[in-house]
Amino acid sequence: MFMLKVINYFKNNWRLTSLIIVALIFFISCSSFNYFTQKNDFVKWLSPDETANYIFTKLYGQQGQMQLFEKYNLLASDIIRPRSFRSDYGWLKPVSFLGMILVYGKLVSLTSYKVIPYLTPLLAALGIIFYYLLIKRIFGRRIAFVSALLLASFPVYIYYSSRSMFHNVPFMVFLLIGLYFSSLLPQNNLTRRDAPELISTKKIKKINPLNPPLQGGQYKKNPPSKGGLGRFKRIIFAALGGGFIGLAIITRTSELLWLGPVLLILWLFNFTKIKLSKLLIFICFLGLALLPVAYWNQVLYGSWWQGGYPEMNRSLANIGQASAKLVQNTISQTTQLASGKTILLESLRKIKDNIFFFGWRPEQSWQMFSHYFINMFYWLFWLAASGMLIFVFRIGKWRRKHFAYLASWLTTSLILIYYYGSWGFSDNPDPQSFTIGNSYTRYWLPIYLSALPFASLAIIKLTDLFKSRLAAIISRIAIILFIFFMSLNYILIGSEEGLLPTAKRQIIAQDEFNKIINLTEYNSVIISRYHDKLLFPERKVIVGLFDDPNMINEYSKLAKLLPVYYYNFNYQKKDLAYLNNSKLKNYGLRLDTVANIYQNFSLYKLDTL
């Protein structure tokens, strides 16, 4: 009897069971990158942001602190710090968002700092399950299942789950979990196993992927929840929905730019179905999730609403001032019409300039969209475009949730494309190289994930053209496997920033690290342009060159107190002589070669004359 129940369970829930297995494989695969590239005495990261997140997560988990004191910064104008750190009167603090540090740090305090590299792969694996559960409520089981499989093989999701100290994947997973529990809040007396849908007791011959039936071709009617249990469940759903969306916000607060409008859209589509009491619970738990960050913002930066990004702090302050002027002008009864219009336009312009503080470049935005979506993930783009056409042609079968999903996706996409696409940044040293490691891919993760259901719809409709059910299933599996192996090839070796080339560079970096550590004193300062992430915190680091007289003056102060080194590209003899006889001589300094470390990189000692 027990075995029969188990067999029936797996028969009725084979999709979810399959995805749990896929998620487990996903976790092991993504975790293996850090497992094989990091050792007990060498836990290093590939970017300044990852380095800062790891160091402060470990510090917070072990000591409950989120700042380090560097006394020599009091003498050197706070220049001793790596990138993604700020120094305020000697105190080294995070520049980035604090949510990931707080969440992961709390888990470290309950376990060990050694779990840190594996927390994001674990979250990402959980995200595959909740992505399926969320999409199932909107589009049904078939589309949700294919979408979850595509997510598990999507290069950007794999890449930034493996490079596990970026905020983007944890943000997406927290958001998916929060949206799933929030989707359970609307009151529906008529429900389906997949999602609230129209009820039919008749068997259907042709399955609509947007509105699939239960097994046996029938829909079922569930009676309204009665008693305290149903109300209690909705209270729990409201609390979990608000709490996890709050965690998403503190993990990447800048995403409120699009997440705020999307949450408003979703509420407008459902406000008649969500009781005020549940909405208040949702808001309260969302606010509770924000409180730890507000506290640490006050401790670290002197204001509960200011973070480590100076540009964002200035923008928020300017937006607040402009908004106050806008409101004042609107309610003022004495302002003349012409001058009032001028103030209105000026306030709106100021708000726009501070939201898009890196510029407003629509043409560049669509160029970046072409590079990082249409060209880089062409299979997803064209499948999603085809699925979108199918979706639009079936508009007569749309439910409210489909309109809400489309409105949310379009809002998210437009804001993210114009906001991040207007930036002029490149994480790759070659600005003409469009690779998966550039920030656009992780910033546009919400766009990619929202496109997957449309790609899945296209795959399902294409394979449903086969008259034989077996042929349809085989062709569907073949397409998914083809996409999987194509994505796997791209993520491993198809890009110069693929995981295998990156792993090889980590091995080289470990050799560099060991050589430099062996050649320098424990209290030495190393000036470098890009190797701060490799050398900190074992050595004090300064991000700099010899092109700024003010920086050279600070170097001279430190050289009188500490051993100071410079690690960068090799100098030719004539260039080194010129540097010593011109810029450095004026500050009583001299640069001498210590050793060639790796190919065209050498270590130099900066001494006083």
Q: Does some domain include residue 243?
A: no
In terms of domains, do 345 and 373 share one? Answer: no
DSSP notation for 103-166: HHHHHHHHS-GGGHHHHHHHHHHHHHHHHHHHHHHHH-HHHHHHHHHHHHT-HHHHHHHHSTTS
In terms of domains, do 511 and 577 share one? Answer: yes
Long-range contacts of 85-91 (CB under 8 A, 24+ apart): 85/52, 86/308, 86/310, 91/67
Parent domain of 336: 311-354
DSSP 97: -
Q: Does some domain include residue 453?
A: yes
CB 496 within 8 A of CB 433: yes
According to the model, what pLDDT value does residue 40 have? 82
Q: Does some domain include residue 394?
A: yes
Q: Does some domain include residue 445?
A: yes
Q: How far is CA 548 from CA 273, 553, 554, 584, in A?
A: 62, 9, 10, 11
Q: What is the pTM of this model?
A: 0.89
According to the model, what pLDDT value does residue 480 have? 96
Q: Does some domain include residue 438?
A: yes
- Please state, in angstroms and rounded to a whole number, the distance separating the CA atoms of residues 427 and 506: 17
Residues of the chain with pLDDT under 50: 189-205, 214-217, 219-222, 225, 333-334
According to the model, what pLDDT value does residue 422 have? 83
In terms of domains, do 377 and 399 share one? Answer: yes
In terms of domains, do 447 and 368 share one? Answer: yes
In terms of domains, do 367 and 449 share one? Answer: yes
CB 129 within 8 A of CB 146: no
In terms of domains, do 374 and 345 share one? Answer: no
| CA of residue 343 relative to chain centroid, distance | 37
Q: Does some domain include residue 489?
A: no
Backbone φ and ψ of 236, nearest 5°: -65, -45
According to the model, what pLDDT value does residue 189 have? 41
Q: Does some domain include residue 103?
A: no
DSSP 348: H
According to the model, what pLDDT value does residue 524 have? 97
Give the N- to C-terminal CA distance of the chain in Å, as an integer.
Answer: 88
- Please state, in angstroms and rounded to a whole number, the distance separating the CA atoms of residues 588 and 607: 8
In terms of domains, do 332 and 404 share one? Answer: no
Domain boundary among 354, 385, 410: 354
In terms of domains, do 398 and 459 share one? Answer: yes
According to the model, what pLDDT value does residue 421 have? 87
The single residue listed with the structure tokens 């105190």 is 91
Domain count, the chain: 3
CA 269, 275, 276, 278 torsion-angle sign: negative
In terms of domains, do 377 and 320 share one? Answer: no
In terms of domains, do 459 and 376 share one? Answer: yes
In terms of domains, do 401 and 317 share one? Answer: no
In terms of domains, do 545 and 594 share one? Answer: yes
According to the model, what pLDDT value does residue 316 have? 58
Q: Does some domain include residue 452?
A: yes
According to the model, what pLDDT value does residue 197 have? 37
